[in-house]
Amino acid sequence: MQNLPTIPNIFKLKPGTTGRKKNKERLVIFLFLLPAIVLFIIFVVYPIIQSIYYSLFNWKGFGPAVDFVGLDNFTNILKDRVFIIALRNVLFIIAFSLFLQLPLSLMLAVLVGRDLPGRVFFRVIFFMPYVLSEVIAALMWLFILNPDPERGFINAVIVFLGGEPQAWLGNTSLVMPAIFVALTWKYFGYHMLLFMTGLQNIPSEIEEAGRIDGANRFQNFFYITLPLLRSTIRTSVYLSVLGSIQQFIVVWIMTKGGPVNASETLATYMYRFGFVRFQLGYGSAVAIYMFLLCLMFSLIYQRLTRQPDYLSGY
């Protein structure tokens, strides 16, 4: 009974109803967001805007940028044969990731399935390369791809099987496939993990219903499982493409973009002009191209793949 009179006070105690409370709440919002926004503006947004400015200059990085060249950097980049190679290599990594790496990951996720004894063991093992740093992964592959069969394990196996040892990273036509194998070793576990999570979100009743209705294993996979995995596949493709566009460390450690620029990627190209040759204006223009590529891809992809989520009811 004593509690009754306090009931109207509920409205006063609730923040945001009186003027003073409202101001206090504004202060909380401001102070809570402040550190994130400050860090984000200074180290993410401002650099991007500033690089647009520098990209219009021929600037070696010493003193202020004064040699204004307009859009020359942007047009010169497109005329550079090495940039075109870098772009082609990025497209190579994207294409092979989408058509080899992701299907392989999906196949393994399906193989592990929901109830295979030891599935956690396989998940832990397959995911381990992703957790190791890119430096370590790249160095390991650098070692086993050594052209000398006495040093490189892969060539040792090839010689053992009666083949010719190959200079994997020294041959302009083998270097990208070799790098792609190393990248797949490092990243397939991540996509497999995404697919395993996606598969787990599909209620097993749906697949069972399909089986009872007479669908065989392949029909079940292509007509039931795959459409229901759509949102996972969408995420996986998105991350894979963005990751391919910015691929740097593995390539830089294994080949530095060589031999004769054969394995150059956009990021190694930018790094070379920015941090090796100190053509900072030119390097900034490369960065802008990469930004635009990421942005355009994100926007177009999100527009194209906005589809009904069949599982939202579950």
Partner 1 sequence: MITDELVVERHHPRARWRKFATRFFQYFILSIIVVIVFVPIVILVFGALKTRGEYLSHPYTVPIPPRWENITLILGNASYSFWPMMRNSVFVMLIVTALVVTVCSLAAFVFARMQFRGKGLAFNLFTLGLMFPINVAILPVYFVLRQIDLIDNLWGVIVVQTAFLLSGNIMILRGFFTAIPAELQEAAYIDGCTVVDFFLRILLPLARPALSTVAALTMIISWNDLLVPLVVLNNDKLWTLPLGTMQFQGQYGQDLSLVSAFVALSALPTIIFYIFAERQIVSGLTAGAIKG
Instruction: Reduce the DSSP state of residue 213 to 3 states and report it.
Output: coil
278 belongs to the binding site for partner 1 (CB under 8 A): no
Letters for 73-102 (x = contact with partner 1 by CB under 8 A, - = none) are ------------------------------
Dihedral sign, Cα of residue 68, residue 87, residue 138, residue 111: positive
Least distance (Å) between residue 44 CB and partner 1 = 5
Binder to partner 1 among 18, 133, 172, 307 (CB under 8 A)?
A: 133
**Residues in contact with 270: Cβ distance below 8 Å, sequence separation at least 6, in sequence order:** 283, 286, 287, 290
Q: Residues 92, 93, 94, 98: is their CA dihedral positive or negative?
A: positive
β-pair partners for 57: 68
Looking at 4, 161, 212, 304, which residue binds partner 1 (CB under 8 A)?
A: 212
The DSSP secondary-structure symbol of 63 reads S
Out of 78, 84, 91, 111, the only residue in the binding site for partner 1 (CB under 8 A) is 111
| Closer Cβ to partner 1, 152 or 262, answer by number | 152
State which of residues 88, 114, 151, 277 lies at the interface with partner 1 (CB under 8 A).
151
57 binds partner 1 (CB under 8 A): no
Among 5, 8, 19, 35, binds partner 1 (CB under 8 A): 35
Q: Are 158 and 149 in contact (CB under 8 A)?
A: yes
Q: CA–CA separation, 166 vs 216, rounded Å? A: 44
CA distance 74 to 89: 20
- Does position 28 bind partner 1 by CB under 8 A? yes
Total binding residues for partner 1 by CB under 8 A?
91
> Segment near partner 1 (CB under 8 A), from 35-43, 80-88, 222-230, 306-314?
35-43
Candidate residues 132, 260, 276, 300; the one interacting with partner 1 per rule CB under 8 A: 132
CA dihedral for 192, 193, 196, 201, sign (positive or negative)? negative
Check if the beta carbon of residue 141 is closer than 8 Å to that of residue 254: yes
For residue 283, state whether it binds partner 1 (rule: CB under 8 A).
yes
Q: What does the longest C-alpha to C-alpha distance in the chain come to?
A: 94
- According to CB under 8 A, which residues from 167 to 186 bind partner 1? 185
Q: How far apart are CA 126 and CA 89, in angstroms?
A: 26
Q: Which stretch binds partner 1 (CB under 8 A): 39-47, 70-78, 89-97, 303-311?
A: 39-47
Check: CB of residue 268 under 8 Å from CB of residue 86.
Answer: yes
Q: Could you say which of 74, 127, 221, 310 contacts partner 1 (CB under 8 A)?
A: 127
Contact between 1 and partner 1 by CB under 8 A: the answer reads no
Residue 74 CA to residue 274 CA, distance in Å, equals: 15
Nearer to partner 1, 39 or 91 (CB): 39
Residue 67: phi and psi, rounded to 5, are -80, 85
Contacting residue, 51, 101, 255, 263, with partner 1 by CB under 8 A = 51
291 binds partner 1 (CB under 8 A): yes
CA 262 to the chain's CA centroid: 22
Q: Which of 136, 226, 260, 276 binds partner 1 (CB under 8 A)?
A: 136
Q: Does 248 interact with partner 1 (rule: CB under 8 A)?
A: yes
